[in-house]
Structure 1
């Protein structure tokens, strides 16, 4: 895992890339690559590439980046891991390509020479790539299929900048810092900015499975090179056969874990004791002749959030080398400045806090690579609310949509008034709202502020400036892409497709990347091996939640490998006691940070309404922890990244 950055000067009045600027951009990401660093500037000064290296495969100086082909016409800076690079290398050497290292980076360069931009279709792994083709005069930027690795870029007059982190782009002296109002509006709903926007105006994130080509005149072309619903069915696959599909899932997951054990440094697993992380441990243990290193995190003052009992049971069963850390509210407060720094833009998921401490624990033991369980819940219907949405769509939403729109609107307005009086809402109100407004029923697994809630939150001035925006448009565009590709009317597949394209890529995977890399730890995600994703996307949803049980198929796949107590334990989820902290130790800090933030100068929020939310939450009359954490992250981000620079 590494940090990459670059500058492409394409303007008529082009200025040569300054090495001091390139190094400054690169070294904002030293945490991503503390082991080595390199730069390349083209002979004509038009292109500069930077790289920070976290050495994992081929630890020798031969693995230094940026790296070129034999004649220096192709240069690359690369972040990630290519798990099939050894197989690709055999064919490339047969074709006459000469290697100087054992790295996967060198395989990328030679594969590009053979395949052009389509080389990405042959890769198995996670990656963010910046590649300069001097012969064509083109810069190629690529993000992996699922979006495990981040990649950002900015367009200035005559200049393109890119980086693994936004802070690398911000280090360029010509980049200004202003809040992007559309990204801000959507962040309030999705608790992360959907691609291609970021909270910084003019800085874009490359969506998953996208390659961006910039030619010598600065023309930009973006293309999607993969979609899980476009993959052809496996030959001979029996997707509706429960026994076959469970065995196939177990086989594909085992292969994914084995591929992700490729490393010349120590590796391990983050273990909560839930089904996903326990499956990672069980399948890895079968492949190793030494104990698996496992790491768990818990909470000192809130034992109901702890999963140590289950983690210890799994650790004992597989004789792992187990490590634990406990944290409290003081640890959250100590970590907040670093959290804001490493996130670059707000990711309002409080899992970032325990994730930081368990990643730091891993690094303290000398563990450089970990496998994590992200992606399992989304593919296998691991949340109860997924099941509720899926069933409510079939039982109620379709029937409601057959009623006249006036009737649907009247039903919603009546229910909304009653919900306001009773301080209740829930799934049924969401259902009526979507039917009345003819919106997509499912918006995602982590929705903070709905549209009417945002209208109460925003100032009058902000509502006028943002008039016309609706976060449903983000959902609708992704849902249309799913319906265009689906061969059946399985609403569950549409739900999972939306999660893969938005919440998973821009929230869950970004929290994993940014927070683990803050401790110079590489996280690998076996459940998101693209072969496994392609297989699970073809499975009927009823096979995943048979009998209303979440993760039915995955549980069946793990039967005989894990104890029944682990397979069928109630889902707890990897969380943090932020609701309680915001009523106690964290209340004063969060209230002050939000109410006295320089974000107020933007005149975006109704701070009287915000204060009422704080008071209601502290009084325990309502649980506003999700809303308040969103605003707390936003305010701290603004003060660090926008206001401080302006000052």
Structure 2
């Protein structure tokens, strides 16, 4: 994994300034501390920071060209089938300079142009400059494991792995995208292609963008989950075998490295499966890394992590963190995230990534994606029960009758402070989707007292994001059942824009690359069409549990799901309470005149007094307030 940056001034033809490109590239040094490189080719410049993992020699340096140096690429990620592709390319006359997977991209592009992405298996974001055709190509991998941001400013396309590099450009003004902020308050993150920075976009997963300086660049999909998903009929034993084999292939392929590969081990099924399969194919013990909480043992899964490490002979390492560690790492989190990723798990993830780096490991496998593929979240079952029991029958009533029922029941729900149930009833009355994602910060009804001005006038609703995300599924698979719709929404939105960005930004802040075997696109295409019963017949992850029962201890497979979480409820009622209050009270965010500050104070008071758990909402507000102060406010980018 690496960091990439670039400028294509194809609209003006002006040469790129070396000093500007160097500043942009330097801002990504944490993503690639091992080496750096610059290409200047008139109106186009590419910058690269290298984390050496495959081909540690100088021949792996980037930017990397083809044979006659008419095509150049900067690449972040891994191409796991590059050796197979290379054999075919060499047989057709292409000449390689080294052993890296990066070089395969330029040669494959020579043959297939943009369609080269169809043959790439892995996790990647790259930028390619084609001097012959005078065009720039940006690509993000199918599931969105790697990030890529861009903006168009006065005839210049400016792009990078992280927004902070783009902000080095003097033409960028720092303004808040208010619509993105509204949706952030719902989803803990911003939906692609928006970011919280007005005018800066994120390339959506499975998309590419080309620009020749003449037209406004528009991202185009090269892969769509709903269209790519396999449609097949199998018996349950056949499904078990197919999943077992594909998971093994995914884990094995992600062992591709010239340096040791470790694993972040929670003690759950997903990371334990990765460890077990890694250990089977490794000649040396696998380095495992786990994190727990000093003062909140109920959140710990360390006993199971130790059990898994012992079972597979791993070299086990753990770190314990407390409230003071959360406070200490907050400035670093806000800086490295660029825009807030309001998942409290960023805190323990930061410390376990740092632990890996301290032990000399800069590549790890992680378990993200398995809960989505195999319906591991309890929220899926809860939503299914509600949908079958009440939502679907209620939705069949005429719209006027649904609204009449809502008006009749709403006062009672409000009097009992049953906001969640009231929100469900309100959305059902409007004919909206039941499921918006596994975790929601502020529901639409909760935003009404929170917001004012341009965000509080009722013109926006986050249901528009949900509806737009599901439109492709409805077109390609109109008969998709409720469970498929929920999984699709998480796979195409929450996973790439929240969970995977959490993994990428936090691990890379410590110069560690995270690989995600459960999001091998072949495994995703295989499992998306799973019948509902095979996913949840005996509960969450029914099929995955059957597939790995011969691999893992029963104590890990059969234990109740705990989930990787952080004790922010306790942190925000303990020593960190004053910090949260102070930072929120003093934030310049309220200068936007979009928030009812008195309501924010009321949320703080209610949480501290123990009336209700509002910790996730406060974390959402705290993160965006700190972000605003660091990146937008009176002293933007002060940590830079």
The TM-score range, normalised by the shorter chain, is over 0.9
Q: Is the 8 A contact 2:423 2:445 kept in 1?
A: no
Q: How far apart are residue 10 of structure 1 and its match?
A: 2.0
Q: Report the counterpart of residue 54 of structure 2 in structure 1.
A: 57
Residues 395-414 of structure 1: pairs in structure 2 closer than 5 A: 395-414=389-408
Q: How far apart are residue 425 of structure 1 and its match?
A: 4.1
Q: How far apart are residue 174 of structure 1 and its match?
A: 1.2
2:473 aligned to which of 478, 482, 487? 482
Residues in 2 aligned to 1:445 and 1:462: alpha-carbon distance in whole angstroms: 24
Q: Report the counterpart of residue 427 of structure 2 in structure 1.
A: 434
Q: How far apart are residue 232 of structure 1 and its match?
A: 6.2
Residues in 2 aligned to 1:625 and 1:479: alpha-carbon distance in whole angstroms: 29
Q: Report the counterpart of residue 462 of structure 2 in structure 1.
A: 471
Q: Report the counterpart of residue 204 of structure 1 in structure 2.
A: 201
Q: Report the counterpart of residue 632 of structure 2 in structure 1.
A: 642
Q: How far apart are residue 461 of structure 1 and its match?
A: 5.1
Q: Report the counterpart of residue 7 of structure 1 in structure 2.
A: 7
Q: How far apart are residue 487 of structure 1 and its match?
A: 5.8
Q: Report the counterpart of residue 302 of structure 1 in structure 2.
A: 296
Q: Report the counterpart of residue 590 of structure 1 in structure 2.
A: 580
Matched residue SS, 1:269: strand
Q: Report the counterpart of residue 183 of structure 1 in structure 2.
A: 180
Q: How far apart are residue 230 of structure 1 and its match?
A: 1.3
Q: How far apart are residue 513 of structure 1 and its match?
A: 0.2
Q: How far apart are residue 463 of structure 1 and its match?
A: 2.0
Question: How has the CA–CA distance of structure 1 residues 627 and 414 changed in structure 2, closer, same or farther, with 3 Å as cutoff?
Answer: farther
Q: 1:232-253: per-residue Cα shift (whole Å, max 9, x none)?
A: 637xx534x2211112111100
Residues in 1 aligned to 2:414 and 2:607: alpha-carbon distance in whole angstroms: 16
Residues 98-113 of structure 1: pairs in structure 2 closer than 5 A: 98-113=95-110
Q: Is the 8 A contact 1:381 1:551 kept in 2?
A: yes
1:154 aligned to which of 134, 151, 154? 151
Aligned: 1:450 with 2:440: no
Range with greater deviation from structure 2 (157-166 or 276-285): 276-285
- Alignment length (residue pairs): 637
Residues in 1 aligned to 2:353 and 2:480: alpha-carbon distance in whole angstroms: 41
Q: How far apart are residue 84 of structure 1 and its match?
A: 0.1
Residues in 2 aligned to 1:112 and 1:23: alpha-carbon distance in whole angstroms: 27
Q: Is the 8 A contact 2:230 2:528 kept in 1?
A: no
Over aligned residues, Cα RMSD in angstroms? 1.4
Aligned: 1:494 with 2:485: yes
Residues in 2 aligned to 1:266 and 1:195: alpha-carbon distance in whole angstroms: 34
Aligned: 1:605 with 2:595: yes
Residues in 2 aligned to 1:568 and 1:224: alpha-carbon distance in whole angstroms: 40
Range with greater deviation from structure 2 (429-438 or 598-607): 429-438
Matched residue SS, 1:229: helix
1:541 aligned to which of 523, 532, 543? 532
Residues in 2 aligned to 1:211 and 1:20: alpha-carbon distance in whole angstroms: 28
Q: 1:571-616: per-residue Cα shift (whole Å, max 9, x none)?
A: 1111111011111111111111111101111111100000000000
Q: How far apart are residue 215 of structure 1 and its match?
A: 1.3
Aligned: 1:362 with 2:356: yes
Q: 1:530-572: per-residue Cα shift (whole Å, max 9, x none)?
A: 000001111012210114x111111111112111110011111
Residues 108-507 of structure 1: pairs in structure 2 closer than 5 A: 108-231=105-228, 233=230, 237-239=232-234, 241-426=235-420, 428-460=421-453, 462-464=455-457, 467-486=458-477, 488-507=479-498
Residues in 2 aligned to 1:469 and 1:561: alpha-carbon distance in whole angstroms: 49
Q: How far apart are residue 3 of structure 1 and its match?
A: 0.2
Residues in 2 aligned to 1:623 and 1:407: alpha-carbon distance in whole angstroms: 34
Q: Is the 8 A contact 2:194 2:200 kept in 1?
A: yes
Residues in 1 aligned to 2:25 and 2:451: alpha-carbon distance in whole angstroms: 37
Q: Report the counterpart of residue 63 of structure 2 in structure 1.
A: 66
Q: How far apart are residue 645 of structure 1 and its match?
A: 2.7
Residues in 1 aligned to 2:383 and 2:286: alpha-carbon distance in whole angstroms: 38
Residues in 1 aligned to 2:305 and 2:562: alpha-carbon distance in whole angstroms: 13
Residues in 2 aligned to 1:48 and 1:303: alpha-carbon distance in whole angstroms: 51
Matched residue SS, 1:49: strand
Q: 1:278-332: per-residue Cα shift (whole Å, max 9, x none)?
A: 1111111111122111110000111111111111111111111000000001011
Q: How far apart are residue 218 of structure 1 and its match?
A: 4.4
Q: Is the 8 A contact 1:270 1:372 kept in 2?
A: yes
Q: Report the counterpart of residue 579 of structure 1 in structure 2.
A: 569
| TM-score w.r.t. length of structure 2 | 0.97
Q: Report the counterpart of residue 94 of structure 2 in structure 1.
A: 97
Residues in 2 aligned to 1:317 and 1:410: alpha-carbon distance in whole angstroms: 59
Residues in 1 aligned to 2:590 and 2:322: alpha-carbon distance in whole angstroms: 30
Matched residue SS, 2:182: helix
Residues in 2 aligned to 1:487 and 1:633: alpha-carbon distance in whole angstroms: 38
Matched residue SS, 2:227: coil
Q: How far apart are residue 231 of structure 1 and its match?
A: 2.1
Residues in 1 aligned to 2:211 and 2:26: alpha-carbon distance in whole angstroms: 25
Q: Is the 8 A contact 1:238 1:244 kept in 2?
A: no
Q: How far apart are residue 646 of structure 1 and its match?
A: 9.1
Residues in 1 aligned to 2:9 and 2:413: alpha-carbon distance in whole angstroms: 57
Q: Give 5+ residue unaligned stretches, structure 2.
A: none
2:612 aligned to which of 577, 600, 622? 622
Q: Is the 8 A contact 2:414 2:422 kept in 1?
A: no
Question: How has the CA–CA distance of structure 1 residues 581 and 413 changed in structure 2, closer, same or farther, with 3 Å as cutoff?
Answer: farther
Residues in 1 aligned to 2:173 and 2:469: alpha-carbon distance in whole angstroms: 31
Q: 1:391-448: per-residue Cα shift (whole Å, max 9, x none)?
A: 322332221111122222233334432232222344x545422210111111111211
Q: Is the 8 A contact 2:423 2:444 kept in 1?
A: no
Q: How far apart are residue 90 of structure 1 and its match?
A: 0.3
Q: Is the 8 A contact 1:379 1:533 kept in 2?
A: yes
Matched residue SS, 2:218: strand
